[in-house]
Amino acid sequence: MRVIDHFIDGEYTSSLSGRQFEKRSPVDNSLVARISEGGQPEVEAAVAAARRALTGEWGRLTLDQRVDLLYGVANEITRRFDDFVAAEMADTGQPQHVMKHAFIPRGAANFKVFADVIRNVANESFQTPTPDGRGALNYTLRVPKGVIGVVCPWNAPFLLMTWKVGPALACGNTVVVKPSEETPLTAALLGEVMNAVGVPRGVYNVVNGFGPDSAGAFLTAHPGVDAITFTGETRTGEVIMQAAAKGMRDVSFELGGKNAAIVFADADFDAAVDGVFRSCFLNSGQVCLGTERVYVERPLFERFVQALKVRAESVKYGRPEDHATTYGPLISHEHRRKVLGYYQRAVEEGATVVTGGGVPDMPADLADGAWVQPTIWTGLPETAAVVREEIFGPCCHIRPFDSEAEVTALANDNEYGLSTTIWTQDLARAHRMAAAIQVGITWVNAWFLRDLRTAFGGSKQSGIGREGGVHSLEFYTELRNVCVKL
């Protein structure tokens, strides 16, 4: 049976304790690999290696040398593209077209994009008057923040991990990555890439494990970690923030969401149905930017509900390597229990189940997988749990609305503020609403369309800070001011 070890100081190492845990396939519950579980000793070793690298070979590289290495990482990922696709499919069970056309290419692109950003970023300089008339020159320097703890989610593991590792390394930091226990394979595989292209030892480290009393808790509490970046649940973010408070360490969080899609009667109907279908059910609804609340202007409501029902019922279940598969399982049986709990709760609270609501009938070889049906509800009040709480599954509640003011208030009436999508051909209205809705990202007549140079992040309970382009540099570097008397 395959064993996935930690990657520390350029080498794959097992746990000193000998502890391992199982990684099982969400597709059929078969055993994928055994994973070495890290604890305090492994975290200590990884942080020590990362600190040595800061002042060692990595710290002595010029900016151009560092950028060239990151381009090499991206190119090596592309060369081993099929290996990364296979690893991500084994971890997540999601269809290969999602891996091949979105998640793995974005993972490689993250290294090139941030290499270009750091190479082209401008620093401030000011001519400052002085009483003697000779003046002074003030200018800024960007320096690495140090060792970055990277705590990763399981829903798009490679994309979201490199979204943090890419800018961290571009800025000259070193990293210790704690991948989700559900999705450790691509983080481990990236270590092979780092060695192949000559990234110095200790720059990229991976310690596998869980959160409490395991690798995650030890990493976020370690005083040798200078900053922590995390994507995941809001409650976990609160725990990490408490750990980071000791030592006054910076945090960057992309947390939960209960995102709204708003469809006006003048929208391009087919485009809106297609866009909402993707935002509700892509990756089996396990997307932080996905939609779980849909508001449709009343003249279009019945037609829209029926059209989305048809699309939801057209998904093709199957193994991820099958080209016909369009829809995969949830990440685990544990997560399925959570999602099915919400499905049951919706019924108990009086929802009309338009489609789905349970577990699909699967062939024998897939029956043990973590499958659930795409699900649509109507008829619930805004106080219902499935309308207010993040489910992170393939489901949505659809409600009619009658005015722009009403739907703006409905969209804002939630503790989260990550994203929203507006479907309308009235661009003046779209601009008004984009300014009024309390989220970090608003799409108009699109969804999941990203320019990696733009600011990414949430408001309210959806996060702290912004990532993307120069906004990532604000977290991964310290600004120093130099004042020279002339």
Q: Over 90: is that where the pLDDT of 127 sits? A: yes
Confidence of residue 1 (pLDDT cuts 50, 70, 90): confident
Say which CATH number the domain at 370 has.
3.40.309.10
Residues 141 and 195 in one domain: yes
**Residues 249 and 102 occupy one common structural domain:** yes
Q: Specify if 289 maps to a domain.
A: yes
Average pLDDT over residues 375-389: 98
Catalytic residue among 171, 280, 288, 396: 288
Residue 483 annotated to the active site: no
Residue 327 predicted with pLDDT over 90? yes
Tell whether 321 is covered by a domain: yes
Mean pLDDT of 465-485: 96
- The pLDDT of 15-21, averaged and rounded, is 93
456 in any annotated domain: no
So what's the pLDDT on residue 370?
98
Shared domain check, 310 and 209: no
Instruction: Kindly state whether residues 314 and 427 are assigned to the same domain.
Output: yes
- Give domain status of residue 195, yes or no: yes
Q: Please report the sign of the dihedral spanned by the C-alpha atoms of residue 311, residue 314, residue 318, residue 322.
A: negative
Containing structural domain, residue 280: 259-451
The whole-number average pLDDT for the span 24-47 is 98
Q: Is 314 found in the same domain as 173? A: no
Question: Do 68 and 211 share a domain, yes or no?
Answer: yes
Domain at 222, CATH number: 3.40.605.10
**Whether residue 14 is found in the same domain as residue 103:** yes
Is residue 172 one of the residues assigned to a domain? yes
The active-site residue, picked from 42, 88, 254, 467, is: 254
For residues 475 and 446, membership in a common domain is answered with no
Q: Provide the number of structural domains found in the chain.
A: 2
- Give yes or no: residues 251 and 359 share one domain: no
395 a catalytic residue: no
Same domain, 288 and 247: no
Q: What is the rounded CA–CA span in Å between residue 197 and residue 180?
A: 25
Residue 140 falls inside a structural domain = yes
**Sequence-separated (6 or more) residues with CB below 8 Å from residue 228:** 148, 149, 151, 219, 220, 240, 243, 244, 249, 250, 251, 252
Asked if residue 457 belongs to a domain, the reply is no
pLDDT in tens, 249-305: 999 999 999 999 999 999 999 999 999 999 999 999 999 999 999 999 999 999 999
pLDDT, tens digit, 9 for 90 and up, residues 335-373:
999 999 999 999 999 999 999 999 999 999 999 999 999
Domain identity same for 478 and 332: no
- Residue 291 and residue 423 in one domain: yes
